[in-house]
Chains A and B, each alone.
Chain A
């Protein structure tokens, strides 16, 4: 009974950290120590791997707002990551390397595109929503392939990184690493606030029973649209970071397979949980790395793993980790 009460968040002393949050905090602590570990073991390879984990986690956090909390399975979310990446890529190529300017433009473009596509997509529900978000994702994908001035199909190599107030902070891998980590932690904290707010409760309630929420006087469409735009903005920020980390931008970032990867991360980690997206991103990248070092044909193993994941998924890794923490 005591455990159950704790799980509900009832009667928990204010200062105690909820068990659900512990896995994410552990991962953050490990990530903070990442560059030190890299010194000892993997070198630059490990830092770049961990940066990929963190950027994927930021994008997955934003998608989880839609899938886990809003019940909106968007199959085109990678397009917004790509949008941010292309804004960064194009601006840097054109000589604008100020990070704040890049972020401002990326956010503005993401808001505009998400408001437009969201307004159309959110008129539909269920399967139709999955398909129409996929369609919009494909449109952005083809837009990217047609940018012949910026690499077209082949993608765009960046010759320098963005810069913050002339400090050269992001020029070094270490600076970029901690900038990405800071973004991840801030995103995680901000989204915790959002889903805990009245807005978050309405979003979740609408996923369970749209009619009732509407009957209570909430404008479900508008709440969902705001969530959709917010998720797009965060994904675009992840994209800006991705462009700087990889120093390369390509249409493949926007492909529907990448959107599928994001969904996998969310489900693998545990939908709508406080640690899920972070755990899922770490697990996906590490599994891919481990399997691909085993065999060239690692997808032959990874594919069936996904099927088993879908078969068994009830709460994902986050639920497993929380359960372990409560027991131990």
Chain B
């Protein structure tokens, strides 16, 4: 019984890890290539989820809604880049923090005005709504497996894109030395725009996929954003590979930590104290992980060469 529970928690952790990767991938590229702290990246995840709800309401078709949500998320990402972010690439991190904090407040309030403060839900698509027998006596929903599969698929695609295409080469070069890339005649502004739009779309995709599992509400991206930052810092800023490893690591540590911390503590201290400390320790686990990794490797697990 305990092993099956572990298996389920591991799958849940993997699913969280995959969602985190979709968010962190864009974040780490924007950060690595442009040196830009985008606190508003979590908002793009939220916007993706709301767009999914909206388009599902209009079309009633899951796949069509996802595609429309992706296009709209891309458009919103590009609009934000054009209106706000591009004016801050050359500015201090402090200015970037404040400006993107402003974007968070604005968009969180905007979705509250448009869709109301109450959490929204949409059903999982019919095709994926059943569960299958994981091991005897335990069901696991197909939709969650689909998310893991899709996330891993996107990871492979991204890896191939960054590794083998000209665009990927420019992104890698940009993360290492943007001035040199610019001096070699690449339109760095356009590269930034593309990277930004792409990152926004990935975060929107994560939001759209998460919409049927989590409740869709204002501010839903805020906490996930902080975890995504933990992911990219652990992975090494600017590294897709690092983001992938760190996202799965954080997803697993967080989920398994939450299900096991109290039980493990009971072996060490008396049960009452364990019940008290366990949940807090579980919430802190990923931050402890990050502090420990930064202590021994101040630039993360896979530091992109040349970034300061």
Contacts and interface: CB of A to CB of B under 8 A. Distances in A.
Interface of A: 67, 73, 75, 120, 123-124, 126-128, 130-132, 134-136, 138-139, 142-143, 145-146, 148-149, 256-257, 260, 263-264, 267, 271, 297, 299-300, 302-307, 309-311, 313
17 contacts: A73-B93, A73-B94, A120-B295, A128-B294, A131-B229, A132-B290, A134-B226, A135-B290, A136-B287, A138-B226, A138-B284, A143-B284, A145-B280, A146-B276, A146-B277, A297-B109, A311-B87
B291 A310 contact: no
A306 B88 CA distance: 13
A123 B298 contact: yes
Contacts of A313: 95, 98
A128 B299 contact: yes
Given A131-B233, A306-B105, A307-B106, 14 more contacts: A128-B237, A131-B290, A132-B233, A132-B294, A136-B291, A138-B284, A267-B94, A299-B106, A300-B106, A303-B103, A303-B107, A303-B109, A306-B99, A311-B95
Contact of A127 (B31, B91, B103, B109): B31
A98 to B, nearest CB: 27
A302 B93 contact: no
Contacts, number: 126
B240 to A, nearest CB: 17
A124 B31 contact: no
A75 B298 contact: no
A311 B97 CA distance: 11
A67 B109 contact: no
Nearest to B35: A127
Nearest to B237: A127
Contacts of B290: 131-132, 135
B287 to A, nearest CB: 4
Interface residues of B, number: 46
B224 to A, nearest CB: 13
Q: Give chain B's interface secondary structure class.
A: helix
Interface centre among A126, A131, A148, A257 (most CB of B within 10 A): A131
A131 B230 contact: yes
B233 A128 contact: yes
A128 B298 contact: yes
Contact of A263 (B94, B229, B230, B233): B94
Contacts of A143: 280, 284
Contacts of B88: 310-311
Nearest to A140: B284
A297 B84 CA distance: 21
A120 B277 CA distance: 23
Q: Which of A136, A139, A302 has the most CB of B within 10 A?
A: A139
B308 interface: yes
Contact of B91 (A73, A138, A299, A310): A310
Nearest to B219: A257
B105 A146 contact: no
B288 interface: yes
Contact of B113 (A126, A138, A267, A300): A300
Given A148-B276, A306-B105, A260 B97 contact: yes
A75 B96 CA distance: 13
Given A142-B280, A145-B280, A303-B104, A127 B37 contact: yes
Nearest 4 A-B pairs (CB), nearest first?
A: A303-B106, A306-B102, A146-B280, A142-B283
Contact of A139 (B105, B233, B287, B294): B287
Contacts of A131: 229-230, 233, 290
B108 interface: yes
B282 to A, nearest CB: 9
A300 B93 contact: no
